[in-house]
Each structure stands twice: as C-alpha cells, then as structure tokens.
Structure 1
Amino acid sequence: MDRTSRRDARARVVGVLAEAGAVSRADLARRAALAPSTVSAVVSDLQAAGLVVEPAEPVHPPERQAVGRPPVLIALHRKAGVVAGLDFGKRHLRVAISDLSHQLLAERRQPLADDLPAQEAIALAQDQFRDALEEAEVHSGELLGVGMGLPGPVHRPSGQLGNSTILPGWVGINAAEAVAEALGHPVEVENDANLGALGEWMWGSGRGVDHMAYVKAATGIGAGFIVNGQPYVGAGGTAGELGHTVVDPGGPICRCGNRGCLETLAAGPAVLSSLRDVHGDHLTLPEAVGLALLGDAGCARAIADAGTAIGTAVATLCNLFNPRRVVVGGDLGHAGELLLEPLRDSLRRGAIRSAADDVQVVEGALGERAEVLGAVALVLGRVAA
C-alpha cells in the first residue's frame, strides 16, 4: 500500500472509530469499506502509536451472538483527542466533554434566567467550559472540536439564529463566531432538535435505525431527522420546524406571525396556560408533568391534549418522510405514555396506513441530556471526515 492509500485508510478507520465508539475489526472493515487485511495493518500502526486500545467495558457493547465467543472490540485511546458539546436552552446551559471512544469525561449544568442576553449566556458558558475541562483533566490543546445547540433554526449561510427561536437575545448574532471567540476553539452550531436526533441515534432510543425523527417537545417544539444514517437539516438549516406547522388556521397568533401553529396549542406555554385557573401562574412544565404522573387529572388531560395536537403534525411528517422510528424527548417527553398514547392515536388517524404501520413512536432514552450529547456526537462525526 502506498503512502497516500495508507493515509486515506487510516483516516477512514479513525473516522469510523470516532463515530462508532468501540467496534470489532470485522465491523470496522465493513463500515470503513476496507479489506480486513488493510484494517489489520492500520490498527496495528495505531496500536503501536498508543492511539487504539481494547476497552474493558465499551460504551456500546454489541448484541451477543447466539453461539461462539463475543468479538474483541477496539476503540480510540484518550490521547487520540477529546471533543466538547454545549447545549443552550431557554433556562439551562449544559456542557459535556468526551473522548473518542465515547467515554464521557465531564458533564456540567447551569440554570439560566429567562431571555438572558447572548453575551451573558456566553460568559457563563466560558466559565462552565473551563471548569469541565479542568474536571476532565483535559488540556485545551487536546480538544478536536466543539459542537453547540440552540433552540431555533440556524441559518447556515449567515450562521445566525432565525426569528422563530425561543431565545430572542440571540437573534442577529453569529453564534458560532461569538462562542468560538469566547472559548478559543472553533465551534459548530446546530439546532437543538437536530442534535437531539443525533444524540438519540448514537446513544439512545434511535440506535440501529437509519431513518428516524426526533421530536423535542418543551418550551418550543422542533424535529430533527436522520436519513440513511446521516443528519438532514435541509438546504439552509431550517428543516424540522415542526412547531410552526399550522394545525388550526383559526388558532392563536404564533410568535412566527402565523395562526394556529403547533406550538400555540401544544408547547410548554400552551400547556401551562390551560392549567392556570387550577394551578396558578407559577407551575413549571416539569412540575406539570410530575403531577400528571402522580395522578393529577387536569395535568394529565393537558398533556394528552398536547399529544393529540403533536400527533396531527407528526402524521404529516410520517406521510412526507416515512421514518422507521419517532423518538420523543424534551420536558413533555418525560410524561411517557400519557403523551405518547394520544400522540400515536392522532398519528394513526392522520397518516396514510402504510406510513403509520411503518413507524414506531417511543420515548427518548437520554432525557434532558439528549441535546448536549448530540452536540458531542456532531463533532465525533466530523473527526477525520
């Protein structure tokens, strides 16, 4: 093998290992589309350099074979580099540090005040990022990249957050440039629902599915897509604005300017508004979900109504996209079957039969960590790409 071919093979092997975490040599050869002998030679070189190890407890162990010994797995060593993820929400900031074998080295969470100006939120992120690196015992020079999520459409040509975001303090700001300057590292920005899809696909309820949608139902409602095992964001980065699907043309005016968008009927503020006469003005969405799970009839009804509305929009999504699985996350997703059962019923009424039969609707496995882990996954997928 000549030098150019070996370099290309090495890059493909490293890229597969970064995305997969820990795999067998046979699986590595299949995913990298390389001959087993080529993979063996590259892995030997990487082992000699101390960049590949055989982990004792892989993050994603394969399904056990019916017979025979399980395969020996290999993964990238910590010194091959680390990546970071940030997730900005309406009221929270999350930071995570991971090595290339998918071992999480540090996670931090910081509450945020509502509508915090971008520069103040970025200053807090700078502090949390520095503390996370220190906790993980990571030198800044080991960092290979930073992924970041924001709750709104990220317009790729301009790098700015669209006006339909629930973070008005970020509108008009080039988020990637501003955060990169604060952290001292290049930053790749993506919509939070897209990152939730990546996180659940790599670590959670979407594993093993090549066509899936992730629906984040919280203060806003958004969707992220995995198509043929790859994230899909559309021509300009706006794909997945499920919350601005018009469900009731005569409904309330949405912050985007339209009437009857899904968010006006089923997002957090709408759910809490329907409960105000019973529970007052200070109930939060997680509290409403908790009360519903404990048997509060009013909260359960409000969540079921939200599920019915979301199901109407997801039915259209299934007709157009035909996913194998829809993973539901966000604060409302924590309600489990209280939300999912009416969502499925509404989906079956609104989708064509073949699309409804093809799809499985499940609760997310990662909870409120889906988006920050998706930010980590975003960078892992770019390593050696």
Structure 2
Amino acid sequence: MPVSDLDAAPGSTSSLRAANQRRLLDVLRGGTDAFTQAELSRATGLAPATVSNIVRELAAQGLVDSAPGSGRRGSSVRLSQSAGVVYGIDFGHSHVAVAVGDLSGSVLAERRHTGDAGVDHRAALELARGLLADLDTGPAPLRAVALGLPAPMAGDVITSASIFPGWEDVNARAATEEVFGAPAHVENDANLGALAEHRGGAGRGHDSSVFVKTSSGVGAGIILGNELFHGAQGTAGEIGHLTLDEQGPPCRCGKRGCLEAYTATPFVRQKLAGQLPGADDVDGVVAAARSGNVAALRALEEAGMHLGRGLAGVVNLLNPAIVVVGGDMARAGDLLLEPVRIGLRRHALDPVATTPVLRSELGGRASLVGAVLLAAERTPLVV
C-alpha cells in the first residue's frame, strides 16, 4: 500500500517534491527497461497521482521520456538519453578502455586501446579523450567522468610511483576534470570491477562479495551490505601485497614475497621462460595448457594455489557470500580457478572453506562497466 506523500521527506513543499522526484529517478536509474507508471508507483511507494505529476514535470525538464500505453498509468517511462551521458575510463598497465554510458549506467559505446597508458598522466588522459571523441555520443551533454586506476588510492592521489608510474602524487580527480570539463570521480580499478559484478555480473543477488582482479597486478574490491567497502584510508582490498614469504621474490611495491609476486601474469611468464616459446601472454599460456603442456598447466596451478592461500585470509575475516575472479588470468577459467578452490579449502576455516569461487561474468570489461555505473550513480538528476 503506498505510503503517504507526507512521509516521503520533511520540510517544505518544494523539498518534498524534489525528494519524490529523486525517489522516482533512482528507480529508473536502477533498471535497464522502461517502467509503467503503475510499476513506478509500486516501486516508490508514491500515490499513482503523485507519480503522474512527477513524470509530467520530469518530462518537461527533459529528464525522462514517456511513451503512451494502455491508459495513463500504463504509459512507459524511462530516463531520457538527452538528459546527458557519462564517460567511463579504465586504465591498466598495458591498456586504456573508454566507454560512453547513459544516466542509468548502461554502456552505449566503448573502445579499447592496447599499449602503455601509464607513462605520463597528462598523455594518458589525452589518449582517453581522443578515444572517446571517436565514439558517437550525440547531442547529449557530458554529466560526469569516472576513472579507474590500478593502484592504491589515498583520496584521489596515487602515492606509489613503483605501482603505477606517471601518476604518483597527482590529484587524479582534478587532472581529469581539467581535461574533460566535467565532474570526475576516481576509484581503484578492482573496486570498479566489484561494483560491476555486484550489479550485473557473477555477484548479483549477493549482499557481500569479493572481486579479485589478477593481471599484471593483484587487487580486490569488497562489497559489504551491498556497498563498496573502502576502509579508513581507502586502500581496503590490496590483497596483492599480503606477504606470503618474507624471503620470497621481490615485488614492485618494494617488499618481498607478496601474493602478487606469485600470482600475477609476470610470475606465470617468468615460470615459463625458456620452456614455452611463443607464449608471451596469458592467452598463449592458456592455449598451451589446454593442449596439455605440462609446464603451462603447472604454472597456472601454482599461481592458483597461491591465490587460494591468500583468499583464505580474506574469507576467514570477511566471510563473503561469493568470490569472483577477474582480470587477465581469469581467462584460464578452471585451469586457474580449481587450484584456487583447492588452496582456499586447504587454508581457510571449515565453515568458509567452500565459499564459491567463480569466474567474472564481465571479463575484461568489468572495471570499465563499473566506471560507467559509478559516474551515472554519482550524477545528481535533481538539485
């Protein structure tokens, strides 16, 4: 039964109207399909007459499109693309991916460039702007940009030159706003992957999950209570720098024996150096393993076992409903994931040792999709 409009928000009539508009827009933003006015009334708890008035007001502002249906309350309503678009940018050590999305967080167009994008932040942002310029965004205004970076963030700043060179001590938000002339939001790339998998990938339907991105580095994004968990300093999820062995191989963070040094793509390539000619990337290693090459199989198994050991501490501490593995290494599928599960069972407490470990459904697009979602969700539609 609809709640009274007077219960929606305290204050003046204008603040109540704005609160009701936000409530309706939040419902529209959370869906990919159009809603009927009757569905919006049920979803928001607002009276049908109130919904009709809000739809009429928002349509006049160009924020929603309303198409005739069976009766006034059967008309379909969706966010209007003319209300604006957002940009998502995902930087990696060997790629930059860009996308244009609408205000519901849906990706409209995207493009990926393979090559070093971390040498200089200014050049990297200009490269991203050039890639986005090639995508047809139509006349809709740019409302926000979200940027994913593969490094620990202290606020909007990367403090370690060794982890992502060219961006150290740079206020990434301010630099992005200067290039694009729109509000910017900066996030760790694994956090963006966690957001995307939670909303529309392997983690959907779970209120807690851990997304692990293992590529040239290793990091995790944590969802608790359906929200990203950042920690006090914003560096929650940096599992790649858990120490497995103080006497182990050096890590690019400056320490030794980090989980990343045993599970990231450089580890696998190093293990196979001289044993597997032509396998210069993950796809080559995976192809060799699937054809039965013992050295490739062993390298993936060892990486997976180490990752499972590291994840055991995570699931012991957080007890997430699910663990999702993404990044380049996840292209190995169960050749990597089954050893991860074995390592997890071996090192985790019995109640959590069988925590499901699944492959990312969004694959290499997870962080980019998350960037579009973040930009859309942080764009206010009603002032």
> TM-score of the superposition, structure 1-length normalised?
0.86
- CA contact under 8 A between 1:14 and 1:383: conserved in structure 2? no
Partner of 1:137: 138
1:310-365 CA-partner distances (Å, limit 9, x unpaired): 001111111111111111100001111111111011111211122234x2211001
Is 1:305 the counterpart of 2:302 in the alignment? Answer: yes
AA aligned to 1:42 is: I
AA aligned to 1:52 is: V
1:263-322 CA-partner distances (Å, limit 9, x unpaired): 111111111100002125871233222332343322122111111100011111111111
> How many equivalent pairs are there?
362
Structure 2 residue aligned with 1:337, among 334, 339, 352?
A: 334
Residues 207-286 of structure 1 correspond to what in structure 2 (within 5 A)? Answer: 207-280=204-277, 283-286=280-283
Cα distance in structure 1, aligned partners of 2:280 and 2:139: 40
1:151-201 CA-partner distances (Å, limit 9, x unpaired): 001111xx2113176321211222221222112222111100000111112
Partner of 2:153: 154
Question: Displacement, 1:242?
Answer: 0.8
Partner of 1:58: none
Is 1:98 the counterpart of 2:101 in the alignment? Answer: yes
Question: Displacement, 1:119?
Answer: 2.3
Cα distance in structure 2, aligned partners of 1:376 and 1:344: 31
Partner of 1:17: 28
Cα distance in structure 1, aligned partners of 2:107 and 2:43: 24
- CA contact under 8 A between 1:15 and 1:383: conserved in structure 2? no
Partner of 1:65: none
- CA contact under 8 A between 2:107 and 2:372: conserved in structure 1? no
- CA contact under 8 A between 1:86 and 1:96: conserved in structure 2? yes
Question: Displacement, 1:74?
Answer: 4.5
1:37-83 CA-partner distances (Å, limit 9, x unpaired): 4545534543565533479xxxxxxxxxxxxxxx9975312122211
CA RMSD, aligned part only?
2.5
- Secondary structure of 1:149's partner? strand
Cα distance in structure 1, aligned partners of 2:131 and 2:298: 39
* Cα separation, partners in 2 of 1:48 and 1:179, compared to 1, 3 Å: closer
* Cα separation, partners in 2 of 1:26 and 1:349, compared to 1, 3 Å: farther
Is 1:42 the counterpart of 2:54 in the alignment? Answer: yes
Question: Displacement, 1:12?
Answer: 2.4
- Secondary structure of 1:226's partner? strand
Cα distance in structure 2, aligned partners of 1:187 and 1:118: 15
Query: Whose Rg is larger?
Result: 2
* Cα separation, partners in 2 of 1:218 and 1:45, compared to 1, 3 Å: same
Q: Which runs of 5+ in 2 are unaligned?
A: 6-12, 68-73
Partner of 1:81: 84
- CA contact under 8 A between 2:278 and 2:284: conserved in structure 1? no
Question: Displacement, 1:86?
Answer: 0.2
Cα distance in structure 2, aligned partners of 1:72 and 1:247: 59
**Which range moves more in the overlay, 207-216 or 247-256?**
247-256
- CA contact under 8 A between 2:162 and 2:252: conserved in structure 1? no
- CA contact under 8 A between 2:259 and 2:307: conserved in structure 1? yes
* Cα separation, partners in 2 of 1:13 and 1:111, compared to 1, 3 Å: same
**Which range moves more in the overlay, 250-259 or 290-299?**
290-299
Partner of 2:63: 51
- CA contact under 8 A between 1:316 and 1:351: conserved in structure 2? yes
- CA contact under 8 A between 1:153 and 1:164: conserved in structure 2? no
- Secondary structure of 2:275's partner? helix
Partner of 1:4: 15
Cα distance in structure 2, aligned partners of 1:40 and 1:320: 48
- Secondary structure of 1:168's partner? coil
Partner of 2:343: 346
Partner of 2:359: 363
- CA contact under 8 A between 2:319 and 2:352: conserved in structure 1? yes
Partner of 1:381: 377
Cα distance in structure 1, aligned partners of 2:231 and 2:39: 30
- CA contact under 8 A between 1:218 and 1:331: conserved in structure 2? yes
AA aligned to 1:373 is: V
* Cα separation, partners in 2 of 1:197 and 1:26, compared to 1, 3 Å: farther
Partner of 2:116: 113
Partner of 1:59: none
- Secondary structure of 1:160's partner? coil
**Which range moves more in the overlay, 39-48 or 323-332?**
39-48
1:219-261 CA-partner distances (Å, limit 9, x unpaired): 0000001111111111121111010011223211222232211
Cα distance in structure 1, aligned partners of 2:294 and 2:28: 48
